[in-house]
Amino acid sequence: MPIYEFRCNQCRRRVEVFVRAVGQPYQAVCDACGSSDLRRLVSRVVHHRTEADRLAELDTSREPGPDYYRDSRNIGLYAKKRMAELGMTELMPQIDEIVEKGRSGQLLKEYEAAAESREL
Ligand SMILES: [Zn+2]
């Protein structure tokens, strides 16, 4: 099933809309705020991809733009790919854990807790 991606003009979230088939009519509504004021993201029809697919597609010869990281699934991919390219794959288990913490917000909480304890 193809997925169209939109940016909600009200709350700025990225919205994915499943469509039965390319070219079929669809009603796109932001699932966060309910707005139908959505902007289609440039001709992107994406299919659910594995992280391996995302890694394979990532071009590390240039910096990904800021929009890239609005999709939390992309957090850490650049670092992972660079490490793989540099042959540092033995460090990957740790990186996976750090990236997972980054995506879930746990890393931020740990930083904040550490910063707080230093201030005491
Ligand atoms: Zn919205």
What pLDDT score was predicted for residue 22? 65
pLDDT in tens, 17-44: 877 766 667 778 998 899 999 988 865 5
| C-alpha 22 – ligand 1 centre gap (Å) | 23
| Cβ contacts of 44 within 8 Å, gap of 6 or more | 4, 5
> Is the pTM higher than 0.95?
no
Residues 8, 42 within the same domain? yes
Residues 113, 59 within the same domain? yes
Residue span of the structural domain in which 37 resides: 3-46
- Overall domain count for the chain: 2
- The label of the residue with tokens 């854990």 reads 97
Residues 32, 68 within the same domain? no
Residues 65, 97 within the same domain? yes
Residues 111, 97 within the same domain? yes
Residues 41, 59 within the same domain? no
| C-alpha 35 – ligand 1 centre gap (Å) | 5
Residues 38, 61 within the same domain? no
What pLDDT score was predicted for residue 33? 95
> What distance in Å separates the CA atoms of residue 62 and residue 112, rounded to the nearest whole number?
31
pLDDT in tens, 45-84: 555 677 778 888 888 888 877 778 777 778 788 888 888 8
